[in-house]
Amino acid sequence: MPAILHPITQITGKAVPVPGANMDTDRIIPARFLKCVTFDELAGKMFYDERFNADGTSKQHPIDAPRHSGATIIIGGENFGCGSSREHAPQAIKRSGIQAVVAESFAEIFFGNSSGIGLPCVCVNAADLAVINAKLAAQPKTEWTLDLQTMQLSDGATSYPIHMPAEPREAFLSGRWDAVTELMSAAARVEELARTLPAPACNSSSPC
């Protein structure tokens, strides 16, 4: 039976705004960081050029503001994660301590890459997103709760409906969001299926 990872049902923590539509993956993790040997090296590198000047001085991005220190939820905009399909983008976000992303909409590949590493991406409508950002500006230390069972984002006083396709939501709730773990834990079934497949053809370019 496939191994079950920990279900992801609820995430609670402070939020940080990453404003603007079409936040592409090159801005999330600049190309020069893609040469990393392991994804662990991406910790702290998310939105690097958005946050720092060429000389390393701060651009005073919200991520680095003391009022948002320790935030675990990103509040983004429309078409978050567009651009290239680099899986380093969600890896950089998660390994920098973020546990979920809330936005008006997501690029499809970014959404899929995020779901596969246990980083929930949920949508809210534009009107609610504006209210959430206003509350975040007025009370940055507020704790937010993102609940994948009730599909609500709450600040303790008000709840906002969130949206996610049924299949990834069920994968998070059941703890089956990592396809690689599922595959490796079903080695016997994989071998059984392999024995039913026809033998590869032999030729000059692919000798037996």
CATH superfamily to which 10-190 belongs = Aconitase, domain 4 (3.20.19.10)
pLDDT above 70: residue 102: yes
Residue 25 buriedness (CB in 10 A; 0-12 / 13-18 / 19+): buried
Amino acid sitting at position 84: S
- CB-based contact 11:149 (threshold 8 Å): no
Is 179's pLDDT higher than 80?
A: no
Angle at 35 (CA atoms; ends 31, 36), nearest 5 degrees: 115
- Beta carbons within 8 Å of 167's beta carbon, 6+ residues apart: none
Q: DSSP H helical segments within 63-177, as ranges?
A: 88-95, 108-115, 126-138, 166-174
Model pLDDT, residue 10 = 97
Predicted local confidence at residue 192, as pLDDT = 72
With a cut of 60, say whether residue 208 has pLDDT above it: no
pLDDT in tens, 108-166: 999 999 999 999 999 999 999 999 999 999 999 999 999 999 999 999 999 999 999 99
Cβ neighbours of 137 (radius 10 Å): 11
Per-residue pLDDT, 1: 44
Give the predicted TM-score (pTM) of the model.
Answer: 0.85
